[in-house]
Amino acid sequence: MQQTINVQTKTREALYDITEEVQQVVAASEINTGLVNIYVQGATAAIMVQENWDDSVQHDVIELLRKLAPRGVWEHDKQDGNGDAHLKSGLVGPSETIPVINNEAALSTWQNIFLCEFDGPRQQRQIIITVMAR
């Protein structure tokens, strides 16, 4: 089963929790054992599994990536000013694959799935969710 969800982002850089939407797609698939892949289209966004207890880890992720890939110092910035966003999305990666157990994405208590926006705001980020049986 495959479904696309859309997320509107509101700031240049932020993590958006998409766990509930992913779990809904997994539940609708009626697949008990398998894998779910979450893939974001676009070269300036990423998908990450990260702690969900509070916003501190999510803020730390953004701060770390800002230090690793600061804005305005890259060759690509001469074209459209988002060289850092491309590097950040490449470091994190466009997808995550999670086991499906008992018709749920097998996340631990402290894990959620996040869309990482590095070049927003965007009217729409398309995320393709693919659920496969084993």
Look at the chain and report how many structural domains it folds into: 1
pLDDT band at 40 (very low <50, low <70, confident <90, very high): very high
Q: What is the pLDDT of residues 106-121, one digit of tens each?
A: 999 999 999 999 999 9
The reported pLDDT for the residue numbered 134 is 87
Three-class SS of residue 10? coil
What range defines the domain where residue 51 resides? 2-133
What distance lies between CA 25 and its chain's CA centroid? 16
Q: What is the pLDDT of residues 46-79, one digit of tens each?
A: 999 999 888 999 999 999 999 999 999 999 999 9
pLDDT band at 41 (very low <50, low <70, confident <90, very high): very high
Q: What is the pLDDT of residues 82-91, one digit of tens each?
A: 999 999 999 9
**Pick from 23, 20, 19: nearest CA to 101:** 23
CATH of the domain at 37: 2.60.120.460
